[in-house]
């Protein structure tokens, strides 16, 4: 009988990655997304995390690659969108708060907060959807109605690329991440606990 081998720390332990909560499939809306995480070391020794997300019910799948030097640390991610490119990926943990200051709009994590994996366009569409619901609710209140209407107009301009704006993802606990192909548009400020 050989000596028991020293147990290697798991990927999650090594990087204190947050536990992933169940995420509903964005395509079929019935299946659950299964996330497979693999660590990969690049030739320059930088480690990256590859996320493979697959629905257990339909054929939906996607890959994300996340550089680990800054990923998932508590921080404020500020994305400045000036060219109408809405493809940056947003990975919001249950503790992350998303704000769009130009429209004075904030998405706070609800009581059933869960991981939100989408892109900037997905966030804008969500905000637009909510604004439209609010408009109906406040149709009798002149002042509020005007304010929501102007927020909605700004959001529409952000969506069609005619307005430059900031998207801020703030996460004091860590677990959130913004991934863009254009690094110069992203500013990361770390928060130390």
* For Zn ion, the closer CB: 60 or 138: 60
Cβ 128 to Zn ion, closest distance in Å?
A: 24
* For Zn ion, the closer CB: 28 or 191: 28
Cβ 126 to Zn ion, closest distance in Å?
A: 19
Query: What is the token pair recorded at 89?
Result: 């990926």
Cβ 62 to Zn ion, closest distance in Å?
A: 11
Nearest to 55 by CA among 19, 89, 30: 30
Instruction: For 156-180, give one letter per residue: b (16+ CB within 10 A) or e.
Output: eebbeeebebbbbbbbeebbbbbbb
Cβ 57 to Zn ion, closest distance in Å?
A: 5
Please give the Cα distance from 183 to 101 (Å, whole number): 21
* For Zn ion, the closer CB: 16 or 56: 56
* For Zn ion, the closer CB: 14 or 62: 62
> Alpha carbon of 102 to those of 43, 112, 152, 192: distances in Å?
41, 27, 11, 27
Residues linked to residue 63 through DSSP beta bridges, in sequence order: 52
* Binding residues for Zn ion (CB under 5 A): 25, 27-28, 31, 55, 57-58, 60
Query: What is the token pair recorded at 135?
Result: 């408009």
């Amino acid at each position: 009988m050989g000596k028991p081998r020293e147990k290697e720390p798991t990927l999650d332990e090594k990087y204190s990655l947050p536990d992933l909560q169940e995420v509903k499939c964005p395509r079929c809306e019935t299946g659950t997304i299964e996330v497979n995480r693999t660590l990969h070391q690049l030739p320059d020794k930088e480690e990256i995390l590859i996320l493979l997300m697959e629905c257990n019910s339909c054929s939906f799948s996607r890959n994300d690659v996340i550089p680990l030097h800054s990923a998932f640390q508590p921080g404020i991610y500020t994305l400045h969108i000036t060219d109408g490119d809405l493809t940056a990926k947003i990975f919001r943990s249950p503790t992350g708060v998303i704000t769009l200051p130009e429209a004075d709009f904030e998405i706070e994590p609800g009581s059933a907060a869960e991981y939100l994996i989408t892109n900037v366009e997905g966030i804008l569409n969500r905000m637009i959807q909510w604004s439209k619901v609010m408009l109906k609710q406040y149709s009798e209140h002149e002042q509020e109605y005007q304010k929501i209407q102007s927020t909605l107009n700004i959001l529409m301009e952000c969506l069609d690329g005619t307005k430059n704006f900031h998207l801020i993802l703030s996460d004091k606990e860590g677990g959130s991440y913004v991934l863009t192909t254009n690094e110069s548009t992203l500013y990361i400020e770390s928060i130390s606990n």
